[in-house]
Each structure stands twice: as structure tokens, then as C-alpha cells.
Structure 1
Amino acid sequence: MANLLSAERVSLTLGTRHILDEVSLGIGGGDRIGVVGRNGGGKSTLLKVLLGSQPIDSGRVTRVGGLTVGVLTQEDALPPGATVAQAVLGDRAEHEWAGDPRIRDIMNGLLGGLDLAALGGPDAVIGPLSGGERRRVGLARLLVDDPDLLLLDEPTNHLDVEGVQWLADFLVQRRTRPDSAFVAITHDRWFLDATSTNTWEVVDGRVEQYEGGYAAYVLAKAERARIAAVTQERRDNLLRKELAWLRRGAPARTSKPKFRIEAANELIKSEPEPRDDVALTRFATTRLGKDVVDLIDATVLIGERTILDRQTWRLAPGERTGIVGVNGAGKSTLLRAIAGLVPLDAGKRKEGRTVQLAYLTQEVRELEQVAGRTVIDAITDVRSYTVLDGKEISASQLAKRLGFSGPRQQTRVSDLSGGERRRLQLLRLLMAEPNVLLLDEPTNDLDIETLTSIEDVLDGWAGTLLVVSHDRYLLERMCDRQLALLGDGRIRELPGGVEQYLELRHEQQARTAGTRSSAAVPTSSAAGVTTGAAESAYSPAQQREARKDLARIERALSRTEERESRLHDRMVQAAQDHAESARLSEQLRELHAEREQLEAEWLEAAEVAG
């Protein structure tokens, strides 16, 4: 492939910081490059150097003649007085863009979910739009322009799970010209794995280059560390643990990067499972009992919007659940209702007597009260020691695990970056030793290394965990169960995980589009024109049988839940009897396997029943 851009022995110092130290790299046609690294490590500066907007101290950057370059920065550069159509389409005539399926795909994929109709449709003015909406408009404009080289700084910010899936598909399927490429800074590990043919890590003035996406990057980095006999033992353990999860996860996750399976197995052969779910559930049951938080026949209204409509949800001890949904569906409101911070309009909320609940909000205002104190003082103000993974650790040790080195622990809270404040916020919650933890978008402002450290800490935390996030990788990594809010007031179980959620959303959008089409076509019984559902691929007899199966499976699932509840009760009573606890744990494993089989059968029957 043609070489589009080359950087040769580039060095750059800003103030006292050495950002780039004789870095050489190249971007070829067809390259899809993901850039990772610590916050403040120089990733955005590297993009500016490639763009040519950041002067360098030495070296040179060369581009092929006629190369067009487009950049998405984290700053908003849209003119507030322009309309959405003007910002995205420029001077293109309507027949030009309306007849281009690529542009229509971009408009639907990035702007279709925005409530532009309420603001005047495509003629909506940029100024009143939210930050997330403006970012979508900026990304749409860049993709419509279709430059040879795309430089994207955190393109998945403000995108929901659907938006991230669409963007990944678009970049991989639509950007297929041999003379085009893109470089994307991202902390979204699923997006990195789905799109990247190469990964660059910006670290200590260097740009380390790896072939493949995130899974291949983790393997190569762990293998390099092993070969070089790196002494940073803690960091190596985290990499091997992350690799262990990647290799034991869904086959689709590891089939794309063609790394050597033998090398991976060699690295993780002595690595334990990332999380012992049964042991943690047993410990959580001991701490919590059988009652955690129940929402019973709950209804929550915000203005004229129905967030919950007569829904019942009983949280179990040790439950680890991820919540996904469209923007505005009420995910954060659901967390607040569980926390008791939002009153129910109907139904009731019941909380267990032993519940100690902690809630990580999207705001960091609660740190204002300790703004003048040091990091370590802000943590020890809560508690000096805590128990994690069955071991007592100090506040300083836990702070170090989450990225606050010894000197950094003496920094004043008011001087911390956004990502550091987020880490401190979580640290203070964990030091309070909660047994129910609610996390609302915990990945905001965090780099991959910090996310990996947080996941490692929470692997050893025993309690009930609820996570609202658009980070698909984090949901799969930390949670054993997913639920969806689709904006219709219902809480839906997702036995098939995020993939099932995306299928549900596709069906929902198809139904909405069908309804609009039907409403636009007049019907006449005299003319014999009727509207209705599409003909099923299954016969009425098959559908009747499937509905019977659904009823049978649902009864079996109900009985399974009752048996699981009784098992939890017995585990509480047998907490001091190790032999009995082990026997009950084995029964719980078998019960979980039985439930998974029933859920798979339910999905098959539901597809036939329609």
C-alpha cells in the first residue's frame, strides 16, 4: 500500500516535558490505527504533529502530494449560528447528497437518534445543541467530507452503544479505499479491537507499535514484558490477568487478531480466573443476607416521560449487572431510584437492613468539600484501611493500585485532572466499605491503564454491583448480566448481552419506521387494501407450540429463581461450615448452568413465537 505520511526522528519538548523523543513512524494506505496511552502522555499532541498544527523541535513529517487530512478534536469548532444541514453538508445541493447512499448512511447513523425534529430538523441551529449532539454533528461533517486521512481524537465520546457499533462498522466497511487511512485516539477497548489493524502506545516519549487491536496489543505487551524480564511485577500481573479474560471470553473477541495461541497459553497458564464469582457471591451473601434492594411494581415519571412503568426488580447479593440503553431512556434515573434518591410515583422500594450503598455519579462535585486537602488525606478521611479480596490493605496501597503514586498522593485535590478526580471519587467510595455499589458512566475521563486497574480492584470486591455504561468492553468484563432500557418504561433481560440489545434496537427502529410508513399510506377496505404485520416464516402450528414452550420455560425459570433464593439462604446459615459451603457452591454452579440453558431455549422459542 502507498505510504501516506511519514514522521522521521521527531522530537518535541513542551515546557519541561519531553513529549516525543526521536519518534519515527508511518501511515500507509488502508491502515486503521488506534492510539492508546496514559492521560497526559502526549496522544493528542502526536495527532497535532501529524496534522502539522504543532511545530516540532527536530525531525520532519512528510505527506504524499495532494493528501487531504481531516481532524476531529476534543474542542468544539462548529459555528453556533449555522444550521445542522449547513455544518454537515456545506454547499452540497440536495440532489447531490440525497442521492448518495454513503452520506444518507452517515446522516441516519450519527444524527438519526437526535431529537432534531423538536429543534427544527436539519435546519436546527447549532447553538442550542448539547455538547454530545454538537460532537455528533462535527463527526458527521468530517465523515461526509471523506478526507484521505482521518485523525480522530476520542471519536466515541458521547456516543451510545449503538453509535459506537455504527461508527466501527462504517470505518471498517466504508473506508476501504487503498489510498485512505485513519488514526484514532480511543479509550474504548471494544472499538479499538473492532476497528484497528495496528495499535500505537504513546509512553515516555516513545510510540510503541503493535500489530492488531486491543487483544493483540495486550498479548504482545505481556510477551515483550516476559522476554525483557520486566520487574514491574504488578503491571505484568494486570496484563496477564487481562489477557486471561480475553482468551477465556467470547470466541468472536479473539478470532480477529491472529496472535499465537501457544504464546498466549504460555503466558496465562498459571494465572487464576480473573474473578471467582461463586466465592464472591457466597461472601456477598454473608455480608448482605438475602435482601438487597427491591423495586416492586415501580413507576417513575419525569415530567411527561415514563421511565419505569410498573416494573419489579429484585437485586440479589453478589449480582453484577450492566445497564445499557438509548440516551434519555432513564438509566441514571433508574440508578437513583434504586439508591432511593428519586421517589417512586407508584409501587414501593424495599431495602435490606444490612445494605451499605455507595453511588458513583457522573458529577465530581462531592470532592469540593475536600478540595484543599491532599489526595491521601481525602482518602484516609473516610478510612485508613479496608478489606479487598480477603486481605486488609491501607488507603495508600489502594491509591497506588489506582494510579496515585507516592508523590502524587501528596497533591491537592483542587490540582487534580478530571480523570484523577474520577479515580479519587471511586477510591473514597471503596474505602467506605459498601456492599452495594452503583456506578454511573465510570469510564468518563479514564485511560485504558486506569480502567484495567479499576477492573482488577473490583474483581476482588464482594458485593452487589450495578454499572451504567456505554463502554461495551467494560460491561462484558465486569458484569455477568446485562439489562436494557429502550425508552418504553420496561426493564428487559439480555441473556445475549449487548449483541441482543443491538438486535432489539434494530427491531424497534424497524417497527417505528414501519409505523410511519403505514401512517403515510391511506387504507381502504373497499379497495381491499389492508395493512398488517409481515407474514411469519413459521406456521401457526409452530408458533402455537413455541408459545407453549415459552410458558413452560418461564415457569421453569421461576422455579430456578426460587431454588437460587433458598440456596442463598442456606449459604448464609452455613457460612462457618466450609464443607457445607463448598457443597452448596457446587449446587449454585449447576443451577446457574441450568438457568443459562433455559434462557437459551427461551430465546429460540421467542424467535418462533414472534
Structure 2
Amino acid sequence: MTMAHLLGAEAVHLEFPTKVVFDSVTIGINEGDRIGIVGRNGDGKSSLLKVLAQRLEPDSGRVTWRNGVHVGVLDQTDTLDQDDTVGHAIVGDAADHEWASDPKIRDVLAGLVPDLDWDARVGDLSGGQRRRVALAKLLAGDWDVLALDEPTNHLDVEGITWLAQHLKRRWSANQGGLFVVTHDRWFLDEVCNLTWEVHDRIIEPFEGGYAAYILQRVERDRQASVVEAKRQNLMRKELAWLRRGAPARTSKPKFRIDAANQLIANEPPPRNPVELSQMATARLGKDVVDLIDAGFAYGDNEVLRDVTWRIAPGERTGILGVNGAGKSTLLKLVTGELSPTSGRVKHGKTVQVATLNQELEGLREVAQDRVSDVIARKRTTYVTGGKEMTPGQMLERLGFTNTQLATPVKDLSGGQQRRLQFLLLLLDEPNVLILDEPTNDLDTDMLAAMEDLLDTWPGTLLVISHDRYFLERVTDQQYAVLNGQMRHLPGGVDEYLALSAQVSAQRVGRGRSGGASSVAPHDSGSSRAHGVSDNAGGSSSGVSSADIRAAKKDLARIERRLAKIEEAEAKIHADMAAHATDYEKTAALDAQLRDLAVERDDLEMQWLEASEITG
């Protein structure tokens, strides 16, 4: 069945004063295409999107749209009127009854801006909130084709998941068109059925999402006998992780499993946990950082409470939570930047913490210096994966060219500065590394290179990220910060999303007034106030006050037992590290861990049931 053509480019040539971006490129988008655009930073991904959306005129060639096609564009930069209100920015001059009666618009508002003040000034919003408003404005419209430039920027895990599901159900399978520039590999795999790689002045199409693209790219390199051993080996390693990872990622029809298995037959797992644990224990000792009944409050605002977390040597943990949940506060307690207002935090004597934050703070004092000079002040060698490398070789591994070594730090792109900041931290050889949104400004190749370096890093790794793929790739366990407390997530990000949805549903349930007006964002405050009296007596849900009291006791009991299980697990992990060469001992300890995991799963189900009763 031939799909109807929507838009395309024919023999397009585009160049800027310093480089040719595209040289006689011909490409097209048909009904049903969901295209992910990938490639190195600076190779022309955003330029391609702008050319196809007729935002940028090519030097030669032509871009054609089918008659009547409407294309909606999300720019990477903020284009909203700063003096507009949230409501007017999204729905314009439409009357309340018009947009409130449209289920698509209600879905967009609930998914992207459920808690925003409808009358707030756009200019007073945070960057993340403005991004959500811009997305909501676009998605509330009727479009045949959507062109999205980095749509997941500033979105949390819940927002990214909602956006993926919305785009999957926005059109029927053989209708509409989508092309998206993003470095979020989970999003690419979840949404896209085609991948375009932009490189070397051309656009190379691949079938399927990110996982299928990686397979075909490895096959392409092998069959062509490309002399790119470093890049190829890195892709093989990532393919191996994809094949051994989440079943949903590898069950797609386009992902040829037999071919993938053959390609990775001799590829070891990304990390050797026993070896890394031994090395981490040697560098750190058995004590890293212990948070014991720790809490923190900003004045009367209690952000964290009763947090017990014994961080083990070699632990690799991802932290999830909505913006403002307390993730950064939690990590500041770990680093010692903040002292707890209740409980205590104990730091091991040999702990050296380094933090990769979002501000690029460490580069400001060397902004005028050349990259090579900055690196020369650090170590002359670095050992990774059992191999000794010079800082220059490390830079090359992270995508720097020889000419860029002579470039002042201030003249590097955002992604290059991010990579340099990461390398400088590694060269300081900390034994506890904290990554706060490390994937910003990095393309998929550079993310894979960063992950490869982290695979052989022998220390404790704590990660905050909304990039689900990165989080699952570099950490071995995940925790959520929910309602001021830490919650272990045996089911990973999927479990977190289920818990987060449940919390949101409970909040909406308590805030529902029972009338249609509760849909409107500007009515949300009054709706919540009304809902308190509905829930107080428990009669509306059929739950008696005695049942609620009993459920609260159960919650307290379950949470105490879960805390003890956490302590037991931390002790077992430490024992495993101390007896890493005693296989009989480690096997027995592993069995204990599995028993604890079974008990934890049962307790967490009980916790969910009790929390539903208490509301």
C-alpha cells in the first residue's frame, strides 16, 4: 500500500559561511511516518527540520508541501509572548465552552499544564513551565504534520511519557506525519517508526526506532568494513545492552533479533559489577555516606523527612521525582552542602564527592584558556577499563578534534563544554560522582561515549535525570522521592510512573468538585478546596474512619519494615563487596537479596492497597 506524500525536499543544498550542511539532499515524509532525526551536534539536524518546515530557505533545490497540508512547529528556543497569559497563549481567543468541550484540548491541558495558573504571565514562568505552555499551544491545534525540535527539553519523566503516548494516539496508524529532533533515545524508540541519521552532508534513512537504527548501523559498518573501530565497538556495546535490556525494546518486529544476537555473541555485559565493587571498596572503604532518619526543611516547608539511605561503595543509583520533590536537596545532604534539620548524615573518611551540575560552574574560571592548557593542568594519564589513556585520548573519545584543543573554553558549544566538564571531573578521580541532568546538550553518539566511560568508572554513582534511557543504562537501581521520602523502585521507571500517576489521580480525586468547570485550570484551586469536605467523612468512597485508621497503622508498619529491608540490603551489598572472590559466600548473600526482594514486592503491594484507603 502506497502512503500519500505529505512534504519533502528535492536536491536541497544548504551551506553556512563556514561549512556545507547539505549537498543535493532529497528526502520525503509520507502519511504515517514518525521520523526521529539523529546525528552529531552541528551536523544539521535542526537545520533540516527548519528547511522541511519552510522556516529556512535552502541555497538551491526546493521544498514542497502537498496542497492543504498544515505543519505545526515547536522551536528549540522560546517564541512565546512574554506578556501573554498562560490561558491565552494556549487557546487564544477561543471561548471557554469551545476549548473545554474539546477532549483533545482537555487531554493536552491535563497532560502538560495541570497545575499552572491560567492567568499567570508567561514571562514569570520558569523555563520548564514555558516549554510546557509552548507544547500545549502547539498540540491544542489541528495539524497534518508536526515538526518538533528537542520537545523533551525541560520535561520530567512523566511529561516525556505523556508526550510519547499523546503522539502515538494523535493520528491513526496511516495518517499524519511527525519528524522530531531529540537526543532522548527512549522517546525515539517509543514514538518513531523511521530514523534519519544526518551526517557528512547527507541524510541516511533507517527503518524503525533507535534500537533498530543501532542494529542497522552496526551491520552497515561491518559490511562496509569501515575503519572506525572505536565508534563501531561503542555501537556494539550499546546494541548488546539494548538486546539484554527491557523486553519491550527488543520485541518490535523491525528489530531483527537473530542478526542482533549474532553481532553481539562475543560482546561482554557493559559492566562487571563484582570487579567494580571490589575496586570501589578499595578506594572508599566500607563507609561512604549514611543518611539516618534525615530530614530537611526550608523554614516551615518540610522537603524531606525520615530518610534512611546507606550508600554502598560502588552503588549506582538513579533518583526520580517531579521538579520540586526534593531530589537536589537530597543530593546536597549527601555532598554535605546542606546539613539536615532532623536526623543525621555521616560521611566516610575517604569520601571525595564531585558533582556534574547544570550550571557549568567549574568552567567559568578557565573560560579564557585553551582546552589543551586546561587539560594539561590535570593528570597526565587516566586508567579506564584496564587501559591507560592520556587526557588527549580521552578528549578524542568524547568527540573533540585536534583543532578544538586550541580553542578557548568560552568558544566551545554547550555540548562541548558539557563534555569537557565531565572529563575534568573524571580526571580529578573522585570516588563518589553525582550527575545532575548530565544529558543536556549532548547528541546520541556523545551520550553513548559518556556511558561507555561510566561503565568502567570504579566508584559510587548517583544520577538525577529525566532521560529515561540514560538512567536505565548507567544505574543498577532507582529510587523515587515521593511525598518527602525515598521509595525504592524494584520495577524501575515503569513502577515510578505508575506510582506518580496514582498520586496524581488521588490529588485530582480530592480536588474534583463534581462539576464540568473543574476542567478549567483557573478553577483548580476552588475544586481542591471543595474536595476536602467530600473526603473527610469517607462516606463517598464507602470507607469507614475505622478502616482509615487501620490502614494508616498498616502504612506505618510497612514503611518501618521497608526501611529495615533497605538497611539489610545495604549490609548484604557491602558483604558481597568484601567477599567478592568467595563465590560460595556471594551466592548465599545473593539468595538472601532475592528473598528480601520478594518480601519487598509483597510489602509494596500492601502499601499501595493501604494508601488507596487512606487517600
TM-score when normalising by structure 1: 0.91
Of 430, 437, 457 in structure 1, the residue corresponding to residue 433 of structure 2 is 437
Query: Equivalent of 1:530, from 539, 547, 550?
Result: 539
Residue number in structure 1 paired with 2:469? 473
Q: Distance in 2 between matches of 1:374 and 1:523?
A: 64
Q: Provide the C-alpha distance between the structure 2 equivalents of 1:437 and 1:533, rounded to a whole number of angstroms.
A: 49
2:524 equivalent in structure 1 = none
Provide the C-alpha distance between the structure 1 equivalents of 2:269 and 2:212, rounded to a whole number of angstroms: 20
- Post-superposition Cα deviations, 1:14-36, rounded to whole Å, max 9, x if no partner, equal 11311011111110111111111
The answer to whether 1:66 aligns with 2:107 is: no
Q: Secondary structure at the match of 1:127?
A: helix
Q: Residue 512 in 1 paired to residue 522 in 2? A: no
Q: Aligned to 1:445, what secondary structure does the other structure show?
A: coil
For residue 460 of structure 1, the aligned residue among 449, 456, 459 is 456
Q: 2:484 aligns with which of 484, 489, 494?
A: 489
Q: What pairs with 1:173-192 in structure 2 (closer than 5 Å)?
A: 173-176=169-172, 178-192=174-188
Letter of the aligned partner of 1:252 in structure 2? A
Checking the alignment, whether the CA contact within 8 Å between 1:557 and 1:595 is kept in structure 2 is no
Q: Which residue of 2 aligns with 1:150?
A: 146
2 CA distance for matches of 1:201 and 1:467?
A: 28
Mapped partners of 2:109, 2:533: distance in 1: 31
Contact 1:376/1:395 (CA < 8 Å) preserved in 2? no
Distance apart, 1:583 and its partner CA: 4.9
Q: Displacement, 1:561?
A: 4.3
Which of 17, 42, 46 in structure 2 is aligned with 1:44? 46
Q: Structure 1: which 5+ residue stretches go unaligned?
A: 572-579
Superposed displacement of residue 455, structure 1: 0.2
The amino acid across from 1:89 in the alignment is V
Query: Given the superposition, is the C-alpha separation of residues 397 and 590 from structure 1 closer, same or farther in structure 2, using an over 3 Å criterion?
Result: farther
Contact 1:37 1:203 in 2 (8 A): yes
Shift of 1:5: 0.6
* Aligned match of 1:338: 334
Residue identity matched to 2:487: R
For the residues of structure 2 that align with 1:533 and 1:313, how far apart are their CA atoms? 37
Measured on the aligned residues, the alpha-carbon RMSD in Å equals 2.8
- Following the alignment from structure 1 to structure 2, what is the Cα–Cα distance between the partners of residues 289 and 448? 35
DSSP-derived class of the 1:216 partner? helix
- Which residue pairs with 2:29 in the alignment? 27
SS class of match (2:461): strand
Instruction: Give the distance between the partners of 1:542 and 1:126, measured in 2 at CA.
Output: 43
**Contact kept? 2:37, 2:196, Cα under 8 Å:** yes
Given residue 491 of structure 2, which amino acid in structure 1 is its aligned partner?
A: G
Q: Number of residues paired by the alignment?
A: 590
Relative to structure 1, the CA distance from residue 93 to residue 234 in structure 2 (aligned partners, 3 Å threshold; closer, same or farther) is same
Q: Specify which of 202, 207, 221 is matched with residue 203 of structure 2.
A: 207
Counterpart check, 1:277 vs 2:273 = yes
Instruction: Please tell me whether the aligned partners of residues 33 and 200 of structure 1 are also in contact (alpha carbons under 8 angstroms).
Output: yes
**Which position in structure 1 is the counterpart of 2:109?**
107
**Farther off after superposition, 319-328 or 366-375:** 366-375
User: Judging changes above 3 Å, is the alpha-carbon distance between structure 1 residues 607 and 133 closer, same or farther for their aligned structure 2 residues?
Assistant: closer
Separation of aligned partners in 1, 2:428 and 2:533:
63
CA positional deviation for 1:514: 2.1
Q: Displacement, 1:133? A: 1.3
Shift of 1:595: 4.0
The code of the aligned residue for 1:492 comes to R
Q: Is the 8 A contact 2:280 2:460 kept in 1?
A: yes
Counterpart in the other structure of 1:393: 389
Deviation at 1:559, TM superposition (A): 4.6
Measure, in 2, the Cα distance between the counterparts of 1:584 and 1:379. 44
Matched, 1:222 2:218: yes
Report if aligned partners of 1:553, 1:601 keep a CA contact under 8 Å in 2.
Answer: no
1:278–1:585 contact (8 Å) kept in structure 2: no
Q: 1:584 to 1:417 in 2, by over 3 A?
A: farther
Post-superposition offset of 1:397: 1.4
Q: Which residue of 2 aligns with 1:502?
A: 497
Deviations 1:266-288 (A, max 9, x none): 11011111111121112111211
What is the rounded CA distance, in whole Å, between the counterparts of 1:159 and 1:522 in structure 2?
Answer: 30
What is aligned with 1:195?
191
- How far did residue 256 of structure 1 move? 2.6
Per-residue CA distance 1:497-519 (angstroms, 9 max, x = gap)? 11111111111112112222375
Equivalent position SS for 2:124 = coil
**Structure 1: distance between partners of 2:563 and 2:323:** 30
Q: What SS is found at the alignment partner of 2:259?
A: helix
**Separation in 2, partners of 1:598, 1:459:** 30
Deviation at 1:168, TM superposition (A): 0.3
Q: 1:137 to 1:529 in 2, by over 3 A?
A: closer
Instruction: Quote the Cα distance in structure 2 between the aligned partners of 1:586 and 1:521.
Output: 52
CA contact (8 A) 2:368 2:410 kept: yes
* 2:601 paired residue number: 600
* Contact 1:4-1:179 at 8 Å conserved across structures: no
SS at match of 2:23: strand
How far off its partner does 1:591 sit? Answer: 4.5
Do the aligned residues in 1 keep the contact of 2:294 with 2:340 (CA within 8 Å)? yes
The residue type equivalent to 2:384 in the other structure is L
SS at match of 1:122: coil
Q: Secondary structure at the match of 1:145?
A: coil
2:92, 2:481 → 1: CA distance?
A: 36
Distance 1:240 1:7 in 2: 33
Tell me by how many angstroms 1:446 deviates.
0.8
Q: Tell me the CA shift for residue 131 of structure 1.
A: 1.8
Query: Which amino acid is 1:336 matched to?
Result: K
Give the TM-score, by structure 2 length. Answer: 0.90
Determine if the alignment matches structure 1 residue 138 to structure 2 residue 131.
no
Amino acid at match of 1:176: S
Amino acid at match of 1:7: A
What amino acid is aligned across from residue 264 of structure 2 in structure 1? I
- Deviation, 1:585, is 4.7
Matched, 1:377 2:378: no
**Deviations, residues 13-60 of structure 1 (Å, cap 9, x unaligned):** 111311011111110111111111111111111111111222212222
Distance 1:35 1:148, change over 3 A: same
| Cα displacement string for residues 110-169 of structure 1 (whole angstroms, at most 9, x for unaligned residues) | 1114xx3xxxx2121212112221111111111111211111100000100000000000
Instruction: State yes or no: 1:159 paired with 2:152.
Output: no
How many angstroms apart in 2 are the aligned matches of 1:210 and 1:481? 32
The amino acid of 2:377's aligned partner reads: D
Q: Kindly tell me: are residues 371 and 531 of structure 1, through their superposed partners in 2, closer, same or farther at Cα, counting changes over 3 Å? A: same
- Residue 599 of structure 1 deviates from its aligned partner by 3.4
Distance 1:426 1:311 in 2: 29
Q: Is the 8 A contact 1:553 1:598 kept in 2?
A: no
Matched residue SS, 2:123 = coil
Deviation at 1:601, TM superposition (A): 3.8
Establish whether residue 448 from structure 1 lines up as the match of residue 462 from structure 2.
no
Amino acid at match of 1:224: R
Q: Is the 8 A contact 1:440 1:467 kept in 2?
A: yes
Aligned twin of 1:267 = 263
3-state SS of paired residue (2:151): coil
Identify which range, 136-145 or 253-262, moves more after superposition: 253-262
Q: CA deviation at 1:586?
A: 4.5
Kindly state the Cα deviation for residue 304 of structure 1 after the two structures are TM-superposed: 3.8
Give the stretch that moved more between structures: 82-91 or 544-553. Answer: 544-553
Question: What are the Cα deviations for residues 365-392 of structure 1, in whole angstroms up to 9, with x where unaligned?
Answer: 2212112222122123121112222332
Q: 2:594 & 2:441 partners in 1: Cα distance?
A: 37
SS of residue paired to 2:118: helix
Structure 2: stretches of 5+ with no match in the other structure: 514-528
Please say if 1:171 is aligned against 2:171: no
1:434 and 1:544 mapped to 2: Cα distance? Answer: 43
Counterpart CA distance in 2 for 1:15 and 1:524 is 66
Q: Cα distance 1:589–1:411, how it changes in 2: closer, same or farther (>3 A)?
A: farther
